Amino acid sequence: MGPTRRALVKTVAGSLALFSLLGRNGIPPAVAESELFQPPSAFPEDFVLNLAREQAKQPYVDTKVAIPENWQSLTFDQYRDIRFDINKSVWRGAPHGFSIDLLHTGFLYSMPVDIYVVADGQQSRINYLPDLFTFGPLVPKPPSDLDLHYSGFRLRYPINGRDYFDEFAIFQGASYFRAIAKGQIYGLSARGLAIDTGQPQGEEFPFFRAFWIEEPPAAAATIRLHALLDSPSATGAFRFNITPGAITQMDVEVSIFPRRDLDHAGLAPLTSMYLFDELGRAGFDDYRPAVHDSDGLMMLTGAGEWIWRPLANPGTLQVSAFSDLNPRGFGLMQRKRRYGDFLDLESKYERRPSLWVEPFGAWGEGAIELYEIPSRMEVNDNIVAFWRPREKIAQGSEFKIAYRLNWAEGWPPQPPDNKALVRFSGGGLNAHQDRRLFVVDFAGDNLAGEVIPDVSASAGKISNIVLQPNPQAGGSRLTFEFDPEGAELVEFRCVLKRGAEQISETWLYRWTKS
């Protein structure tokens, strides 16, 4: 950990003139810049890349904040009682409209995170100042001479209107980060890197050890930040170019430097929550028709096939791998967008974002892996999806990848390649209570005329396949019945065709007995 706050508080008049970061546009400074920032130093173009490369050659060092005894077991409610004063945001009032809120350590967030601002090729670390926070009655105020560090930050920008600076992204906890677009609230998360997810030896969680946030030009709509990732198994250099708006886009450049062979590395990992909906709600006694941040995994294969895989909350851990060559995209979607889909006045799941990963360049051979973890509580993230390359990432190598993250209401904005999309998936017992009944609604402008459903299962017996117009919702409804005939796990696949042409996305689903 770095030096104490008292050692960092220095008078650096003149050398910090390039960091005119507070008190712009007539707003009085909330904190003296000489107290908030360390003296600046050079920030070359490849500074973080070279730092990650060199750090990978050294043994991993575990660092945690020395938290006072009465802070070591803060509850969630106590941690929420620590609030950053947005009147003291870095860059508040700047012409570009971006600003930074700092996040305190405590609760689950004990890893210290260094945060730097960058301007004119110079970097300056932000000192820890407890005066930037208000500490409510539930939590004791920390000692003024102890550097408790920060655990992350929020970014603000006026995406919903000119009069309010909305938070649109948050980086906090391991390598997790979240973002929203216009009119949305936080839902699923992304991560920098996943290592050994679902493996017997347990998962390793790399973390962002430091961030460098570049101050944008006055007319900019994009903000750039860099992150140094660290873990016992790898280091990494990340560059994010983030453009908030109706669709919040993040262009991500990643360089990974393994300290050991990474046999099970998850790239562009996404994490979400799915509890139940109309396709599977066994065991949930709840007034709401659905509870989830995401309801399906959407994929666009390298061969151009659009796939929709509804999510499940199984009785046991389920892992699915969708092999591909040079995938063109994948993401966890929230297709339900109406209040009536959830009837939840507080959680507002209909306003949670979808997140689509758009690869840059050829990613080669590998698989999109989906992990569905049993869960009984909506506060638990139990869905993970990422790209896993076929070949291991070798120790001592430098592995590069780039992609775009699209945080949006839905993706793509228009039906892909004129394909009909799945708008509803449901399941339950049939009228005779002797077979499973599945219902899949398709919507699109290409469903008129002679359309034939193609339905198959890896085991059991399918019967009574019916495709008919849906006069209530538009489009077409596909229903079929299924007898597992003793099978405990079955993979379903169905598409709509006109002759030999597939006119819908592919619907995939894994049914399990428990």
Strand partners, 272: 383
pLDDT digits 0-9 by tens, 480-492: 999 999 999 999 9
- CA–chain centroid gap for 79, Å, is 22
Domain that holds residue 470: 420-512
Strand partners, 371: 319, 384
Assess if residue 349 is contained within a domain. Answer: yes
Number of domains composing the chain: 2
378/469 same-domain check: no
Examine the fold and report which residue of 391, 408, 441 is the final residue of a domain before the chain moves on: 391
Task: Please name the residues in contact with 137: beta carbons below 8 A apart, sequence gap of 6 or more.
Answer: 81
Judge whether residue 240 has pLDDT over 80. yes
302/382 same-domain check: yes
pLDDT digits 0-9 by tens, 365-390: 999 999 999 999 999 999 999 999 99
CA-to-CA distance for 369 and 319, rounded, in angstroms? 7
Q: Let me know: does 257 contact 236? Beta carbons within 8 Å.
A: yes
Assess if residue 297 is contained within a domain. Answer: yes
For 409-487, strand residue ranges (E) read 421-429, 436-443, 452-457, 461-469, 476-483
pLDDT digits 0-9 by tens, 438-494: 999 999 989 998 999 999 999 999 999 999 999 999 999 999 999 999 999 999 999
446/384 same-domain check: no
Domain CATH code at residue 448: 2.60.40.10
CA-to-CA distance for 335 and 317, rounded, in angstroms? 24
440/354 same-domain check: no
CA-to-CA distance for 294 and 339, rounded, in angstroms? 15
Assess if residue 122 is contained within a domain. Answer: no
SS3 100: strand
Return the amino acid letter for 11: T
Assess if residue 19 is contained within a domain. Answer: no
372/460 same-domain check: no
pLDDT digits 0-9 by tens, 90-99: 999 999 999 9
SS3 16: coil
Distances (CA, A) of 69 to 76, 130, 139, 140, 435: 17, 17, 12, 11, 58
Mean pLDDT for the chain overall: 91
pLDDT digits 0-9 by tens, 278-299: 998 888 999 999 999 999 999 9
Instruction: Using a cut of 0.75, tell me whether the model's pTM lies above it.
Output: yes
CA-to-CA distance for 259 and 262, rounded, in angstroms? 9
pLDDT band at 21 (very low <50, low <70, confident <90, very high): very low
277/353 same-domain check: yes
CA-to-CA distance for 170 and 407, rounded, in angstroms? 13
Containing 6, the helix (H) or strand (E) segment is helix 5-8
356/465 same-domain check: no
The dihedral of CA 239, 241, 244, 250: what is its sign?
negative
CA-to-CA distance for 232 and 196, rounded, in angstroms? 12
Percentage of the chain modeled with pLDDT above 70: 93
SS3 106: strand
pLDDT band at 28 (very low <50, low <70, confident <90, very high): very low
Look at residue 30 in the predicted model and tell me its pLDDT: 54
269/357 same-domain check: yes
Judge whether residue 15 has pLDDT over 50. no
Assess if residue 110 is contained within a domain. Answer: no
Assess if residue 2 is contained within a domain. Answer: no
